[in-house]
Amino acid sequence: MELLDVYDDFGNITGKKIVRGDKSVKLTPNEHIAVAIVFIENSSGEFLIQKTSLEKGGEYSSTGGHIDSGETPLEAIKREIKEELGISVDNDKIESLGYVLYDKPLRYVFYLKKDINLKEVNIQKEEVASIEYMSKEKIFSLIDNNLFLTSHAILFNIILKEK
């Protein structure tokens, strides 16, 4: 059973916890669960993009997932990178770009500049079908054709403004 902390509109943990996936829980308009998303850019200016498994929708996205109860957003994104890509980034400088309130979750956004050898990646098949480095143009083409996860498309535009 995975527990998730409930956050307010300002990213503060309220003290309330919910079980992930429990559809009976109704959050008020100012209560949110939180997710962490990272955009990994290589030295060629391409971003590491994954195609989610069919069970997860088969859309293109960046790496990320729910922030477990008691976990910081940074700890969560390091865990998600390890789970989904099979690589450790514990010693890397991951830059926090704050959070965005879109839809119901708070989305904590991170940026990592790192050249990752795709041959060293061990994807989590339950969640990730494939990965590849993509140019900004290719990502925008996926967005324009509704093949990119909407929330990640919005966050990608934020990354481009920041970087």
What does 7-65 look like in DSSP terms, one character per residue?
E-TTS-EEEEEEETT-TT----TT-B-EEEEEEEE-TTS-EEEEEEPGGGTS-EE-EEE
What are 37's two structure tokens?
């998303």
Q: pLDDT tens across 66-117, in order? A: 999 999 999 999 999 999 999 999 888 999 999 999 888 999 999 999 999 9
- pTM of this structure: 0.93
Check which CATH number belongs to the domain holding 81 and give it.
3.90.79.10
Percent of the chain with pLDDT over 70: 99
Residues spanned by the domain of 51: 3-162
Q: Is 23's pLDDT higher than 90? A: no
129, 51 contact by CB (below 8 A): yes
The pLDDT score that the predictor gives to residue 127 is: 93
Q: What is the mean pLDDT of residues 133-137?
A: 96
The pLDDT score that the predictor gives to residue 12 is: 96
Alpha-carbon distance of 116 to 87, in angstroms, equals: 9
- The total number of structural domains in the chain stands at 1
For 110, phi then psi, to 5°, come to -125, 155
